[in-house]
Structure formats: structure tokens, C-alpha cells
């Protein structure tokens, strides 16, 4: 079984391409900043210099190195995606498992909660919260993103749990007196592990996009560089009018590549786990 999944995984072009793109950016974000002996916001070069051998992606209006900002920004992007995605997946799993397995009034209540958070437009809620509380770090930003973007995951997991809970092996576990948390952890979750992983990938991608929007509006963390903040600065200091394309193209392209690779990876994995979808 394991080998079969691996066999198809290595032969799935979507999965391989997506994973390679993600890994390249991840390594660039982890190792890249070590190449510089200056920080991303330091004024190191001539202002508004186009890409050159010295500054690969040129400089900003203030003479900051765009390439250095980009590499540091990748870190922030991955961090906010991972933290926000993990948190949203965790909340979604707890709500989904409990609602789906317990049923009854607990289900009704959790369902109500899920639907309410689902209808509220996440970014607009985050705008209010961030504007008042003044988010200053990536961790806090990820925390709020995680707390607002779990509902669809909870709903999907609840539906899956619902269909699993009346299977024989779950009945057997219940009859042998296994406690509920253990049943969920040992019997139900492993049977939908592929599904949970796919959910996490999508949450990861959406957390990156939400964070980029927040940064762009000017409610991002103030203690670091991120790809969204680069876009914000480029727009604020009229990079468009000045024709500094090297300032606003790389950050957006980076976000698009990462999120797009995550989506493509998601479809590839889906095909690996679900034989019906494989291309014939």
C-alpha cells in the first residue's frame, strides 16, 4: 500500500512539480538571507537602481536591496502560512471530529458556530481586529488568521467523520470500551489522513493569501519584511508611476508561485490517493 502510493506519487507530474517549486522557495528563504551581511531594510545601494550584477533585483526608492527583501520576505510568508495553516487545521479538526462523532446537540451547536464564522468575511473581521489591537508580529497575525479560516475545513471533516463513525471497526472499538478521544485519534483520523493533509495544504495557501492582503492594506507586522509588505511599500512609494517594475513584480510572483504550487500539489496528491482521478 505504502509502496503503491509512493509509486504513483513519483510518477505524478503535478505532485512532483508542485513539491519541487515549494522546496526551491523554502530553501531560498532558509539559506538565502545568509548570503547578505546586511538586513533587508538597510539602505545599501543607490536609490532606484535597476537589476544588476550587484543587486540582482535592483533597489527600492530608498536604496534597499529588493532581492534581500524578497528572500527575507519568503521566510515570513512560509511562517505565516505554516502557523496559520496548522492552527486553522487544528481548530477545524477538533470541531469537525467532535461534531461529526458526537452528533446530537453538540453537533447542532458546533454546526451553528461553524456556519456563523463561515459567513463572516474573514479578511474584514481581521481588518477590524488588527486595526484595533495593532498586530506587530507574524505570530499574532498567523494566530488571527488561523482563528478565522477554519470553518470550511471543520465542515468537510465533520461530513467525513459522520460517514466513518458507523463503520464496523469503529463500533468494535466502542464496544470494547475505548474512550472517545482515542477512537477519534486511532480509528477515525488515520482513515482520513490523506484528506486531512489535503485540507492542511489548502489552509496553508489561503493563510498566505490572507496575510498578503492584510500586509498590503497596511495592517501587517511591523517588525519584519514580508512579500505582502513589499507590495504595500511599492504601491505606497509609487513604484508603478516611477516604473520600478523590479520592486513590485518579484513579491507578487513569489506569492503566486508558492500558492499555485500548493494548489497543483494538492490536485496531484488527490490523484495519488484517489485512483479514480488518475489520468488514463
Partner 1 sequence: MRRYLGRKLLIYGLTFFVAVTVNWMIPRFMPGDPVSSMLSRANVAQPAAVEAMRAHYTAMFGFDLPLWRQYLNFWGALLQGDLGISIWLFPTPVSDVIVRAVPYTLGLLIPSILLSWFAGNRFGAFAARRKWLDNTVLPFGYVLTATPYMWLAILLAWALGIVAGVFPVAGAYGFDLRPSWSWTFIGSLAQHWFLPFASLFLVAFGGWAIGMRNMIIYELEADYVNYLRALGAPARLVRRYAFRNAILPQVTGLALQLGVLVAGALVTEIVFSYPGLGHLILQAIQNQDFFLLQGTFLFIVIGVLIANFVIDVAYVLVDPRTRTGMGGAA
Stretch that binds partner 1, among 38-46, 65-73, 182-190, 262-270 (CB under 8 A): 262-270
Give CA 220 to chain center in angstroms.
16
Alpha helices, H only, 176-244? 180-183, 193-217, 227-236, 239-242
Cβ of residue 85: shortest distance to partner 1, in angstroms?
Answer: 15
**Does residue number 124 form part of the binding site for partner 1 (CB under 8 A)?**
yes
Select from 1, 34, 119, 175 the one that contacts partner 1 (CB under 8 A): 119
What SS3 state is found at 41?
coil
Tell me the C-alpha to C-alpha distance, in Å, between residue 92 and each of 97, 170, 176: 8, 21, 28
All cell numbers assigned to 218: 497596511
**Does residue number 230 form part of the binding site for partner 1 (CB under 8 A)?**
no
CA distance 276 to 280: 9
CA distance 102 to 89: 19
Max Cα distance, the chain (Å): 74
All cell numbers assigned to 99: 461534531
**Does residue number 264 form part of the binding site for partner 1 (CB under 8 A)?**
yes
Contact mark string toward partner 1, 148..187, x via CB under 8 A: ----x-----------------------------------
Cβ of residue 255: shortest distance to partner 1, in angstroms?
Answer: 5
Select from 82, 217, 237, 273 the one that contacts partner 1 (CB under 8 A): 217
Nearer to partner 1, 10 or 109 (CB): 109
Residue carrying C-alpha cell 461529526: 100
Stretch that binds partner 1, among 51-59, 65-73, 170-178, 226-234 (CB under 8 A): 226-234
What SS3 state is found at 59?
strand
**Does residue number 109 form part of the binding site for partner 1 (CB under 8 A)?**
no
Select from 20, 24, 109, 277 the one that contacts partner 1 (CB under 8 A): 277
**Does residue number 25 form part of the binding site for partner 1 (CB under 8 A)?**
no
Q: Which residues contact 55 (CB under 8 A, 6 or more apart)?
A: 45, 49, 65, 66, 67
Cβ of residue 151: shortest distance to partner 1, in angstroms?
Answer: 9
**Does residue number 21 form part of the binding site for partner 1 (CB under 8 A)?**
no
CA distance 211 to 220: 7
Report phi then psi at 198, rounded to 5. Answer: -60, -40
**Does residue number 267 form part of the binding site for partner 1 (CB under 8 A)?**
yes
Residues contributing to the site for partner 1 (CB under 8 A): 112, 115-116, 118-125, 127-129, 131-133, 152, 205, 209-210, 212-213, 216-219, 228, 231, 234-235, 240-241, 243, 245, 248-249, 251-253, 255-260, 262-264, 267, 276-277
Amino acid at each position: 500500500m505504502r509502496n503503491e502510493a509512493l509509486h504513483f506519487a513519483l510518477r505524478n507530474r503535478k505532485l512532483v512539480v508542485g513539491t519541487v517549486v515549494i522546496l526551491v522557495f523554502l530553501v531560498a528563504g532558509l539559506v538565502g538571507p545568509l548570503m547578505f551581511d546586511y538586513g533587508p531594510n538597510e539602505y545599501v545601494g543607490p536609490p532606484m537602481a535597476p537589476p544588476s550584477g550587484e543587486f540582482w533585483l535592483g533597489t527600492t526608492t530608498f536604496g534597499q536591496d529588493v532581492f534581500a527583501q524578497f528572500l527575507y520576505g519568503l521566510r515570513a510568508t512560509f511562517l505565516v502560512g505554516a502557523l496559520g495553516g496548522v492552527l486553522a487545521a487544528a481548530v477545524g479538526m477538533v470541531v469537525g471530529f467532535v461534531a461529526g462523532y458526537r452528533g446530537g446537540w453538540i453537533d447542532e451547536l458546533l454546526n451553528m458556530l461553524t456556519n456563523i464564522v463561515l459567513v463572516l468575511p474573514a479578511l474584514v473581521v481581521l481588518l477590524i481586529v488588527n486595526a484595533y489591537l495593532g498586530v506587530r508580529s507574524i505570530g499574532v497575525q498567523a494566530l488571527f488568521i488561523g482563528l478565522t479560516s477554519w470553518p470550511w475545513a471543520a465542515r468537510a471533516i465533520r461530513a467525513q467523520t459522520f460517514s466513518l463513525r458507523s463503520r464496523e471497526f469503529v463500533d468494535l472499538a466502542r464496544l470494547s470500551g475505548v474512550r472517545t478521544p482515542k477512537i477519534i485519534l486511532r480509528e477515525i483520523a488515520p482513515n482520513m489522513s490523506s484528506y486531512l493533509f489535503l485540507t492542511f495544504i489548502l489552509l496553508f495557501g489561503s493563510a498566505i493569501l490572507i496575510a498578503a492582503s492584510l500586509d498590503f492594506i497596511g495592517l501587517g507586522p511591523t517588525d519584519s519584511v514580508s512579500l505582502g509588505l513589499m507590495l504595500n511599500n511599492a504601491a505606497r512609494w509609487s513604484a508603478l508611476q516611477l516604473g520600478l517594475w523590479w520592486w513590485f513584480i518579484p513579491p507578487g510572483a513569489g506569492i503566486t508561485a508558492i500558492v499555485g504550487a500548493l494548489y497543483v500539489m494538492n490536485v496531484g496528491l488527490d490523484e495519488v490517493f484517489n485512483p479514480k482521478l488518475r489520468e488514463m
